[in-house]
Amino acid sequence: MDILGFDRGLMGFSLGVHIILAVLGIAIPLIILISEILWRRTWDKTYRILARRLSVALAVIFAIGTASGMLVAIELAVLWPKFMALVSQVAILPFYVEVFAFFGESIFLAAYLYSAYRGSESSNARIVFMAIVAVCAALSGVLITMINAFMNTPVGFNIPEYIATGNVTGVQPLAAFATPSTATEVLHVISSSYFAGAFILLAYFAYMLLKSDETTREYYKKVVMVLIIVEIFATALTVFSGIQSISALYHIQPEKYAAIEGDMVPQAYAPEYIGGIPVNGKLEYYIAIPGLQSLLATGSVSGTVPGLSQFPNDTWPPLFVHSLFDPMVGSGFLIGFFLMVLVLLLVLKRRPLDNRIILWLTVLAGLLAVFVLEAGWIMAEVGRQPWIIYNVMTVASAANYSPSVIPIGIAIIVFYIAAVPSAALVIRRFFKNRPLKDELVK
Amino acid sequence: MNLFSLANFLILNAFLLTLMLEAGTAVLLLAGKGYKERLKRYVMPMWEIGGTFLVFFIVNLEVTYPKLIGVAGYIYILPALAIAALLLFRNAFISYSGYISSEKDEGRYLKVYAAATLLITIITAATLASVLTGAGADIANNTLNITAMFLNAAGITAILGLLIISVIFGYLFYRGDAVMKPVLSAVVFLLLLGIEYHFYPRVLGSMSLLQYMNNSAISGDAALITVVMGSFLSVALAYFIYIVYIKNEQAY
């Protein structure tokens, strides 16, 4: 493999792992905050125990996530030095504010943990501390997404002059906070972070409910209920913002849009292609739903959608993004449908949480949610190729070609592979030594 | 030296201060000489704050000297990634040690943390020295000779100096009778470094640091953000340290 490929692989792998820690780091504070508020409202011990136990998991995930975040920050600078040199002169402010959000998160998480284990049972301070942690965690996601939006729709400097001469002029420092793609992208990233993060927890607690006995069953049921309610909002928002994002692509990144939808030639009355494999520059073996794509993208079945043939061959993204798009959307809708059924059963008082099949399906939905998250992320990043900054800088021209990256890159991959399962193991061991039963009886 | 370099330098100092305290702690942990309870109590929040300051420094470096990233990112890829990997490793072990119930395992995990922290300190010292003197760096070919980076007068003195001060700093700090003395000595050290830096604002041996400065409109806004957010967080941090250390200390 060449060094560029290795740089790409290392960055992709690091982000792929980091994203799981990140969504948990964004979702768990919200769940803890809700539990703290419920505890103060109902004085039901379940919620206090949930908050305390989740905060241990959060502390471990935060520690690994912090290190992984530093790793990604350092990787950005050393794997893509030319990219960071431009971002630093044009769009660094979101990144810079993010450091403070991260600072705030670490200080107030420490304050929360301190208060949770040493402070009074009914302290209101804990709600404030966790609220700040939750806001800062979400804000970190928002600010980093702003950099990603800048990569998709660069603004805030004289682009023609930069391409012609390499000089950075006409910088507007605040432009990076609101590029044309920022709003839709931020909404989709944040809602899908809550969606995926809470689903990982939901899958875990549904599994624990399956394994529970008389003493712990009620606890797990209440926790699962809280998570289902969070999921209803998060899933709805994710689907809504997802449709927004793909429609936005139609305007701002037509190549990416065409590659994702599998459109080889521009056409009116475009069908939505489901499945299909690109063969010799043509999509084959697909199912087409007439007019749907034009309707979704343009608001009318007669609308024209772009096709890859409009663009030079060397700016086409890899065509496999279409093969990721279908399973991602399909799984997302499957999960949404499952949630709707679940809510209907709850409303009809059919006690779905006593049904083992439904609980197993919930665990399965959690795994699917992680798949949707990763597939969506890979699709979004690979769909921008060959650009690192759309129409300004290619990945190949930004990369670091020093061969030193290979040995240390392999070490990082090995560390990552070890760090995540060992974090899970430590959390598990901690809970094993402090059984839920003892806390419930206390 | 202008205000932006000064801010960047102060942030580097804050990071070095936490790193020195951690390195001192690491040596004491490895030597296994008493103070274990005290060590644990101080090291727990300290490692996280040190890590945040490192990120703060790196991002501030990107804001202040963006053109340096293009050069240094190439040359120092190996030490930078090594520090990053060690950080991941170290954070994992220190956080695990807090949630492991067996005393023996906890000690072992803390030792792994200590060893990784010492390595980070050594690599950081040598890298910083090399960024200033250019030892081992081949700017024309964008490569780095690792052996030459460590084994030169500036590199060796930087490593030894940082370690010696760290150990004394740590030892005095944990002996606990006078907290001010070690903190003062570290501040004096950093001041000396600052004076040296003031007269020698060059990187990679001969290049002027100022040639890498950000000349875009970013700097002014970044300075405003640094002051506003920095003050807010300093207050939050001071409040937190007050709750955890001062109140806690009184309770003992």
* Tens of pLDDT, residues A112-137: 887 777 666 667 788 888 999 999 99
| Angle between the N-to-C axes of helices A214-252 and A3-42, in degrees from 0 to 180, rounded to the nearest 10 | 130
| A375 contacts A328 by C-beta, under 8 angstroms | yes
pLDDT tens, residue by residue, A175-188: 888 888 889 999 99
Which residues of chain A does B100 touch, with a Cβ-Cβ cutoff of 8 Å? Answer: 426, 429-430
Percent of chain A with pLDDT over 70: 98
Residues 30-49 of B with CB under 8 A from A: 45, 48-49
- Lowest average pLDDT, out of A51-65, A89-103, A188-202, B212-226, goes to B212-226
Please state the separation of Cα A237 from the chain's center in Å. Answer: 13
> Omega of the bond prior to A386 within 30 degrees of 0, cis?
yes
First to last CA, chain B: 46
B71 touching chain A per CB within 8 A: yes
Helices of type H across chain B: 3-31, 36-64, 66-75, 77-98, 103-133, 146-150, 153-175, 180-199, 218-241, 248-251
Q: Which of A264-273, A432-441, B186-195 has the highest average model confidence (pLDDT)?
A: A264-273
**Whether pLDDT at B184 is above 50:** yes
Other Cβ atoms within 10 Å of A153 Cβ, number: 18
- Residue A273's region, left for phi above 0, alpha for psi from -120 to 50, else beta, is beta
**Whether pLDDT at B252 is above 50:** no
| pTM of the entire predicted model | 0.85
Residues 153-212 of B with CB under 8 A from A: none
Tell me the nearest-neighbour CA distance from A202 into chain B, angstroms: 23
Contact B69 A77 (CB under 8 A): yes
| Long-range contacts formed by B6-10: CB under 8 A, 24+ apart | B7/B60, B7/B64, B7/B223, B7/B226, B8/B57, B8/B60, B8/B61, B8/B64, B8/B65, B9/B194, B9/B197
CB burial string A54-89: b at 16+ within 10 A, e below: bbbbbbbbbbbbbbbbbbbbbbbbbbbbbbbbbbbb
| A19 contacts A376 by C-beta, under 8 angstroms | no
Interface test with B, best of A68, A78, A117 (most B CBs within 10 A): A78
Strand partners, A284: A277
Residue A12: is it exposed, middle or buried by C-beta count within 10 angstroms (0-12/13-18/19+)?
A: middle
B224 touching chain A per CB within 8 A: no
H-run or E-run covering A267: strand A267-268
Give the pLDDT of residue B102: 65
Size of interface A-B (CB pairs under 8 A): 210
Nearest-angstrom CA–CA distance, B146 and B160: 17
Q: What is the mean pLDDT of residues A131-150?
A: 92
**Whether pLDDT at A283 is above 90:** no
Q: Which residue in chain B is spatially nearest to A58 when comparing CA positions?
A: B95
**Whether pLDDT at B219 is above 70:** yes
Q: Which amino acid is at A293?
A: Q
The band of B134, judged by pLDDT with boundaries at 50, 70 and 90, is confident
pLDDT tens, residue by residue, B18-60: 888 788 888 888 876 566 666 666 666 667 777 778 878 888 8
Nearest-angstrom CA–CA distance, A336 and A439: 34
The band of B185, judged by pLDDT with boundaries at 50, 70 and 90, is low
Give the pLDDT of residue B192: 66
Nearest-angstrom CA–CA distance, A136 and A130: 10
Tell me the nearest-neighbour CA distance from A439 into chain B, angstroms: 17
Contact B52 A66 (CB under 8 A): yes
**Whether pLDDT at A138 is above 90:** yes
3-state class (DSSP) for residue A140: helix
Residue of B80, B91, B240 lying closest to A64 (CB–CB): B91
Q: Which residue in chain A is spatially nearest to B141 when comparing CA positions?
A: A402
pLDDT tens, residue by residue, A357-390: 888 998 999 999 999 999 888 888 888 888 888 8
Give the pLDDT of residue A22: 92
A12 touching chain B per CB within 8 A: no
Which residues of chain A does B56 touch, with a Cβ-Cβ cutoff of 8 Å? Answer: 99, 103
A301 touching chain B per CB within 8 A: no
pLDDT tens, residue by residue, A378-430: 888 888 888 888 888 888 888 888 787 787 788 888 878 887 788 888 888 77
Q: Which residue in chain A is spatially nearest to B75 when comparing CA positions?
A: A402
Nearest-angstrom CA–CA distance, A237 and A340: 14
B81 touching chain A per CB within 8 A: yes
Q: What is the mean pLDDT of residues A252-267?
A: 84
**Whether pLDDT at A15 is above 60:** yes
Interface test with A, best of B55, B68, B88 (most A CBs within 10 A): B88
Helices of type H across A211-320: 214-252, 254-261, 292-298
ipTM over the 0.85 cut-off: no
CA distances from A436 to A356, A422, A432 (A): 21, 21, 8
Residue of A74, A87, A422 lying closest to B80 (CB–CB): A74
**The pair of three-digit structure tokens given for residue A179, joined into one six-digit string:** 């590029």
Q: What are phi and psi of A289, to 5 degrees?
A: -105, 110
Percent of chain B with pLDDT over 90: 2
Nearest-angstrom CA–CA distance, A288 and A34: 44
Looking at per-residue pLDDT, the higher value among B89 and A128 belongs to A128
Looking at per-residue pLDDT, the higher value among A186 and B135 belongs to A186
pLDDT tens, residue by residue, A41-82: 888 888 888 888 888 888 888 888 887 887 888 788 888 888
Give the pLDDT of residue A201: 92
- Tell me the average pLDDT of chain B: 75
Q: What is the mean pLDDT of residues A193-222?
A: 89
Nearest-angstrom CA–CA distance, A313 and A296: 26
Contacts of A329 (CB under 8 A, 6+ apart): A242
**Whether pLDDT at B251 is above 50:** no
The band of A282, judged by pLDDT with boundaries at 50, 70 and 90, is confident
Give the pLDDT of residue B43: 62
Nearest-angstrom CA–CA distance, B30 and A442: 39
Q: Is the dihedral of CA B214, B217, B223, B226 positive or negative?
A: negative
Looking at per-residue pLDDT, the higher value among B186 and B20 belongs to B20
Give the pLDDT of residue B244: 63
